Amino acid sequence: MPLPHILLALLVTLIWGINFVIIKVGLHDFPPLLFCALRFALAALPLLFLRGPLPAPFWRIVQIGVLLGVVKFGLLFVGMHLGMPAGLSSLVLQSQVFFTVLIAAALLGERPSPRALLGLALAAGGLLLIGLERPLGNSLLAFLLVVAAALAWAFSNIATKRSGASDMLRLISWVSLIPPLPLLLLSWIFEGPQAIAGALRGISWGGFGALVYIAFLATSVGFGLWSFLLRRYPASQVTPFALAVPVSGLLSGWLFLGEALSGQDWLACALVFVGLAVTVLPTSLWRRMGRLRAADL
């Protein structure tokens, strides 16, 4: 993967790392299923300006929309609403990386190299160090919902890769048309019309800003770039970047909010990025570095 695409992948991890804090802000104003429905309704707005044929078969768009929008984000938002902390949610959700690698091996015949597996193991060790310092939250159910959300994301990654789409902004915009109505129906049934009306009447600037961020930055930009990378590269090469999402969340909290990081946190962040480097940097670069080191000796 060339450097510009590596930087794009890291930009996505930064956008998504901050997103978990933004979701918590939005959940103060909206019940979770309504929040998720509004997110995708806004994310579909670029279709007002985009012209051209469907970017993929309609059944594939529906499949991705259900897996990504209804199942993954519905479960994630409800899990966070039930007590899963933002930081730990971002961590647990990245189990989608390992689910995706396994599913890609089974369905697409992709076999990660031993070096890629080593990199994944190193990054997983870093995530474990991060998780050991953070409470599980108030509900085992909330934890299991986020794990189920990660599995749904893994299947949506495979569906995106199989879509054959080349215009990823158009793809994610069409995909965003699918979740709002099912999520609104679920919100009406489980959250109730009074909660919906109250949230829409009492929306604050913070809630509105959170909605705009997750609709356009986290969805249109983030998933547009992510889908672009999945289309061009093996899933086992792209999805490991998601392991950096909790790290970007920790670092952005430290940089912008002054949240303290322990020595274990810094070690974990370093371990995740070493694992990513082992996984995604080309073999030729490692050989060149080895020759330079040998020459220095």
Q: What is the pLDDT of residues 68-103, one digit of tens each?
A: 989 988 888 888 788 777 666 777 787 888 888 888
- Taking a C-beta distance cutoff of 8 angstroms, is the pair 47, 172 a contact? no
Residue type, 119: G
Q: Looking at 12-26, 65-79, 236-250, which range is the least confident one?
A: 236-250
How far apart (Å, rounded) are the C-alpha atoms in residues 9 and 163?
Answer: 20
Which DSSP string corresponds to 76-119?
HHHHHHTT--HHHHHHHHTTHHHHHHHHHHHHT-----HHHHHH
- Distance of CA 188 to CAs 41, 182, 195, Å? 16, 10, 9
For 128-187, how does the pLDDT look when each residue is reduced to its tens digit (9 = 90+)?
776 676 666 566 788 888 889 989 989 998 998 888 888 888 899 999 999 999 999 989
- The token pair at 93 is 């959700």
Residue 68 CA to residue 79 CA, distance in Å, equals 15
Residue-level pLDDT at 291: 57
Contacts of 2 (CB under 8 A, 6+ apart): none
Q: How far apart are the first and last CA of the chain?
A: 30
Task: Give the H or E element holding residue 264.
Answer: helix 263-280
204, two tokens: 């604050």
Query: Which residues lie closer than 8 Å to 85 by C-beta, 6 or more apart?
Result: 134, 135, 137
